[in-house]
Amino acid sequence: MDSAKHEIAYEFLPYLQVYKDGHVERLLGTDSVPASTDPLTGICSKNLTMIPETDVSARLYLPNLTTTNKDGVTTDQKLPVLLYFHGGGFLVSSSSSPSYHNYLNKLVAEAQIVAVSVDYRRPPEHHLPAAYEDSWATLRWVASHRNRDGSEDWLNDHADFDRVLVGGETSGGNIAHNLAMMAGGGRSGLEVEILGLALVHPSFWGSDHVRSEGLNMDRKAEMDRFWQMVFPSSLENNDPRVNPVAEGAPSLAGLGCRKVLVLLAEEDLTRDRGWVYYEALGRSRWTGAIEIHETEGEGHAFHI
């Protein structure tokens, strides 16, 4: 028998274990639900693969768009399109996880948007920056529908490309920020602009602790280890994609969107980094509108 199949090379509990033969066993976020028509909201969803070369896929969500105008004529609405990145510490969960699927059904129904929930590549099989590369490839795929001749009819027929939004939860918030940075500066070659960026409990870090992080250095050390596992090429966790306010990081004035919403939770370890990000963006020469909201008495991703 090959003992390597049973010997653990390393683990990061409670998320996963990696065996010496390279097999990865995820211990959380493995449940899934199929795409469907949600009986509570009427939202339709389906799965597709956008980037076959890297097997990057997504779950698309579409509300009931058929309406009748004052003359009794049936019309099809054009709605904002949200490019969404799920959380899970980069390591676990997917667009088909029950928590994220149910959340997107409710969000799409309430906001009346078309959503593209991305399954980006995950560490340790694919360390960062793979997820950032996947986010960029997916945004370019969405933009390819701007002239109504792309490969996905839901976007051709129903997406308003003057209202493209990017957002994500926790690690997905980190990805969303980095995507907006890649889209900035007028050098991206994209045919669409990002109207709004929503960062929900975004995951940022750095070598030096900020504010209340210094009150729990054991937790700080655990987070240092986490980031070194998911992004081993990040020097001391100060790559600007991990720490947007690190010394020498590109200015946040280059953020490629017009509006930013930052949502934080009072009992969340990432809270202080979110405030630092908000304050740094406000001090930069970025000319967009920024809003922040902190929920009292709640922890990381409580709403999920």
Any idea which residues carry the catalytic annotation?
170, 268, 300
User: Going by C-beta distance under 8 Å and a sequence separation of 6 or more, which residues neighbour residue 61?
Assistant: 43, 44, 45, 104, 105, 108, 114, 115, 116, 117
How many CB atoms sit inside 10 A of residue 210's CB?
15
Task: Determine the Cα–Cα distance for residues 63 and 108; give it in Å rounded to an integer.
Answer: 7
Taking alpha carbons only, the member of 222, 236, 221, 179 closest to residue 202 is: 179
**CB–CB of 129/241 below 8 Å?**
yes
User: Going by C-beta distance under 8 Å and a sequence separation of 6 or more, which residues neighbour residue 281?
Assistant: 252, 255, 260, 290
Task: Determine the Cα–Cα distance for residues 235 and 171; give it in Å rounded to an integer.
Answer: 19
C-alpha distances in angstroms, 127 versus 47, 49, 202, 246? 24, 20, 19, 21
> Residue 276 carries which side chain, given as an amino acid letter?
V
